Amino acid sequence: MHLHREKFVDKGGPDGGNGGRGGHIVLRGNKQRWTLLHLKFRKHIHAEDGEKGGSALSAGASGKDIVLDVPLGTIARDAQTGEMLFEVTADGEEKMLVKGGRGGMGNAFFKSATNQTPRYAQPGEPCREGWFVLELKLLADVGLVGLPNAGKSTLLSVVSAAKPKIADYPFTTLEPNLGMVKYRDYKSFVMADIPGIVEGASDGKGLGLRFLRHAERNSVLLFLVPSDSPDIKAEYRMLLRELQRYNPEMLDKKRALAISKCDMLDDELTRAIKKTLPKDVPHLFFSSITQAGLTELKDLLWKTLNE
């Protein structure tokens, strides 16, 4: 609230300026980003406050907005209620996570023919605070599904330039890995190595719920079962059942079955295993070590993706 003061001007009238709004916090989709790791250590994010209005009808500057680049497929949730607020799906798409408070109005804003000298002003809104969770579900063409130590990471390291951690103990992979698989005629597709799923994962056993969500965004699910499994068909059905219990819509996705580590089999064993495999899903045998069957595997995946 301010009244104009000037020599020889005894009744200058109201000239209090408006205040600026607070800065927004905005999420922006960026197709060049694949993870949320760049935000992992930014626990507190504070946009600028708006500046005060001044005399002589001087308006305060608005607070500077903070724009956070996130990968496509990022979901924002309210940390208190778990409610999903929105999802960022397009490159360059901007969604407001926290809106800045409105700036106040100076007394000049309220003057009128019947109220020519208002001696009051409207204060600005206080800053808004909140806790939010950003969750990323991987967007990939092909997702690898299998028990721990089924050979998923080894396959990804062979068919792409990705370098996932590989070892002979369960749950070597704790974070999903992405790899770009080159195909014929300069074509390519994205493959995701999803950490191992165990029986009961849909009930939260192991780290199941944390991993299962990443299978939702893949166009094709490639089930990997090692050739030394006691019952390949039963293992495949178990993996399918866990996906179905987590989200029944998973069964609508295209899928294929790959028998890994076929370098351990001779022709007789291969023929015997083929007789036991499920008939409702295309299957093939491959070895990441000898690279036998990898070309056929790429052909099968490309055909399934483009059906």
Average pLDDT, the chain: 82
The DSSP bridge partners found for residue 145 are: 223
| Beta-ladder partners of 26 | 67, 96
Please name which of 164, 245, 161, 258 lies closest in space to residue 200, comparing C-alpha atoms: 245
Neighbouring-strand partners of residue 191: 142, 179
Residue 233 has pLDDT above 60, yes or no: yes
Rounded CA-CA distance 205/241 in Å is: 14
Question: How many angstroms separate the most distant Cα atoms in the chain?
Answer: 110
∠ CA 119-125-129 to the nearest 5 degrees?
165
User: For residue 208, is pLDDT > 50?
Assistant: no
Residue 207 has pLDDT above 80, yes or no: no
Q: Would you list the domain boundaries of the chain?
A: 1-136, 138-305
Measured CA to CA in angstroms, residue 60 lies from 4, 36, 127, 299 at distances of 17, 35, 16, 62
Backbone angles phi, psi at 62, to 5 degrees: -75, 150
* 3-state percent breakdown (helix, strand, coil) of the chain, nearest 5: 25, 25, 50
| Residue 127, pLDDT above cutoff 90 | no
Highest mean pLDDT: which of 31-35, 67-71, 303-307? 67-71
Amino acid at 182: K
Q: Which of 154, 195, 153, 189 has the alpha carbon at shortest distance from 174?
A: 195
Beta bridge pairs of residue 177: 193
The architecture in CATH of the region 1-136 reads Distorted Sandwich (2.70)
Q: Which CATH class is domain 138-305?
A: alpha beta
Cβ atoms of 129 and 207 within 8 Å: the answer is: no
Residue 163 confidence class, pLDDT cut points 50, 70, 90: low
The residue that leads in pLDDT, 133 or 168, is: 133
Query: 196 is written with which tokens?
Result: 């191992």
What is d(CA 165, CA 171) in angstroms, rounded to the nearest whole number? 10
pLDDT digit string, tens, across residues 177-190: 777 888 888 888 88
What's the pTM? 0.61
At 29-58, the pLDDT tens digits run 998 887 787 888 888 999 999 888 888 888
In whole angstroms, give the CA distance from residue 172 to residue 165. Answer: 7
